[in-house]
Chains A and B, each alone.
Chain A
Amino acid sequence: MHETDMTKALITTVRDWWTEQPRPPHITHIHLAVGEFAGVEPQSLEFAFASQKQNTFLAAAELVIEEIPLVAYCRPCNQEYRPRVGLEYSCPSCRGPMAEIRSGRELKIQHIQYQEAYAPNL
């Protein structure tokens, strides 16, 4: 269950950003990109986040996970392809190995949505 640690890392990173703001904002959504070829299960991440955010500055925040499929690139065939994770990673055309990964390794906080009380400078 290292999603627990991943969630800790996530909260630490967001907290660093949050405390740097002149007025700590009210965070509503955290957008994550999780690759199919990263060692993380999105559902476990959501579960861990729901329990760890309680009684913190992220209590009202929601996790929005975008799952990024594994896309490999075969140089000899000059084409991208989608390996069948768990079954087959070779290029479907030439049977060459998966030597280059184009996407699917992501484990990234993409952006944060937040609200601030509107206080016009009069």
Chain B
Amino acid sequence: MHQTFDHALEVNLLHANQAGADHNRAHLDAWGVTCLNFMSGPGAGKTSLLERTLHSLTPALKVAVIEGDMTTDLDAQRLRQCRVPVIAINTGRCCHLDAKMVAGGLRQWAREHNPAEFDLLFVENVGNLVCPAEFAVGEHAKVALLSITEGEDKPLKYPLMFQQADCLVVTKLDLAPYLQVDLDRIIAHVRQINPQVPIFPLSAQTGVGFSPWLAWLHAQLSPQIHEKALFA
């Protein structure tokens, strides 16, 4: 004879990942490192944005990169040209980085370098507009990218990514003259879901629009970083 029972659990499915992300962030805070998670669909220009950004920020700031890629390390090779430490994580069949993978990257970084000497950590997520939005990795802010070639409707079709973003970079602005694209419409679509998010239209090719983006980045630095600069 069997008796049937019911047990209330009320646990978030992503509970374990969130705990891992909080753990990662505690390490980053102890090191005084600000971590940004870069997310977009494939080919929106994450690596190009990082290349130009790294050229602008270094060597005044010390920056490291964790690079998530499903199978290759082509992006990691490109970013190593910028003379910053790049930790490549192959996610295999997994379409996003999760907290555990990034924890592995942080351990490797701490073995090879002293993270406390760094100011910023850029995490370049796997190109995907859906999954990375659900998986925190320990970042202090999420940076979403949308290229103007992707179409004005993407914020409406993939709302979670744009709703979760703390900052939106609209890339490939240099291509605007060749496309029938309405930048105001893209921005209006994003504002429907995330009314306050800072939006930076720019071109990593020409550098147009980079100043406000770099100013936003500087504003994200942890207070400890300003101290580091003071005593340097």
Task: List A contacts of B111 (CB < 8 A).
Answer: none
Query: Does A2 lie within 8 Å of B6, measured CB to CB?
Result: no
The contact of B13 among A13, A89, A112, by CB within 8 Å, is A13
Instruction: Give the docked Cα–Cα distance between A10 and B159 (Å).
Output: 24
Looking across the interface, which residue of chain B has its beta carbon closest to that of A32?
B13
A88-B192, A108-B10 known; A114+B94 contact, CB < 8 A: no
Instruction: Tell me what chain B mostly uses at the interface: helix, strand, loop, or mixed.
Output: mixed
- Nearest first, the 9 A-B pairs at minimum CB distance are A97-B195, A2-B131, A118-B1, A115-B2, A89-B192, A39-B134, A107-B13, A111-B8, A109-B9
A5-B98, A90-B192 known; A116+B2 contact, CB < 8 A: yes
Query: Does B2 lie within 8 Å of A112, measured CB to CB?
Result: no
Query: Does A2 lie within 8 Å of B5, measured CB to CB?
Result: no
- The answer to the question of A85 belonging to the interface, with a C-beta cut-off of 8 Å to chain B, is yes
Task: List B contacts of A87 (CB < 8 A).
Answer: 156
Interchain Cβ contacts under 8 Å between A and B, 7 examples: A13-B16, A17-B7, A37-B160, A86-B156, A97-B194, A109-B12, A110-B8
Task: List B contacts of A108 (CB < 8 A).
Answer: 10-13
Interface residues of B (CB under 8 A from A): 1-17, 93-96, 98, 130-131, 133-135, 156-157, 159-160, 163, 191-195
Shortest B215–chain A CB gap in Å is 24
Query: Does A88 lie within 8 Å of B156, measured CB to CB?
Result: yes
Best-buried of A5, A38, A116 by chain B (most CB within 10 Å) = A5
Query: Does B7 lie within 8 Å of A111, measured CB to CB?
Result: yes
Instruction: Give the docked Cα–Cα distance between A107 and B14 (Å).
Output: 8
Query: Does B5 lie within 8 Å of A115, measured CB to CB?
Result: yes
Query: Does A37 lie within 8 Å of B16, measured CB to CB?
Result: no
Query: Does B3 lie within 8 Å of A116, measured CB to CB?
Result: yes
Shortest B21–chain A CB gap in Å is 13
Query: Does A86 lie within 8 Å of B95, measured CB to CB?
Result: no
Query: Does A114 lie within 8 Å of B7, measured CB to CB?
Result: yes
Beyond the given A40-B134, A114-B5, please list 9 additional residue pairs across the A-B interface where CB-CB is below 8 A: A9-B13, A38-B160, A99-B195, A109-B10, A109-B11, A109-B13, A110-B10, A115-B3, A117-B2
Size band of the interface chain A makes with B: 35 or more
- The answer to the question of A59 belonging to the interface, with a C-beta cut-off of 8 Å to chain B, is no
Within 8 A of B (CB), among A76-122: 85-90, 97-99, 107-118
Shortest B94–chain A CB gap in Å is 7
Shortest A41–chain B CB gap in Å is 9
Instruction: Give the docked Cα–Cα distance between A5 and B92 (Å).
Output: 13
Query: Does A28 lie within 8 Å of B4, measured CB to CB?
Result: yes
Best-buried of A9, A40, A90, A99 by chain B (most CB within 10 Å) = A9
Task: List A contacts of B11 (CB < 8 A).
Answer: 13, 108-109
Instruction: Give the docked Cα–Cα distance between A28 and B4 (Å).
Output: 9
Shortest A48–chain B CB gap in Å is 12
Query: Does A2 lie within 8 Å of B96, measured CB to CB?
Result: yes
